[in-house]
Amino acid sequence: MVKTIIILSLLTSNILLADAYKDNCIKCHNKLPVSIDKYFYRYLLKYSSQRDIKAAMINYLKIPSKETTVMPDAFINRFGVKKESQLSEAELSDAVDSYWEEYKIFGRVR
């Protein structure tokens, strides 16, 4: 019985977290003139590895600043720096993982 409850709890939390990317990231970025994939490519150029990209994204989402953004000054001057994310650590991690899976080029380029 306890195992069943734990498994159901984990499945429920995974389902809720799976929407963190769509419900938070996509929802906001759809309002911007720069498509969300452009951010990914900027992170890729600056940080190169999966580990470094994800760490930089999570750090920026937690504590956004002009100094840590990958966007050019013109973009920041026009739209400003994003507000600090209200997502939990697990939601941030899941959203960044989903984003990575959506746009990663490793294993796709031939």
DSSP tag of 21? I
Query: Could you read off the pLDDT of 34-91 as tens digits, one per residue?
Result: 888 888 999 999 998 999 999 999 999 999 999 999 999 998 999 899 899 999 999 9
Residue 9 has pLDDT above 50, yes or no: yes
User: What pLDDT does residue 3 have?
Assistant: 62
Token readout for 101 is: 């899976």
Burial of 48 (0-12, 13-18, 19+ CB in 10 A): exposed
Rg (CA), the chain: 16
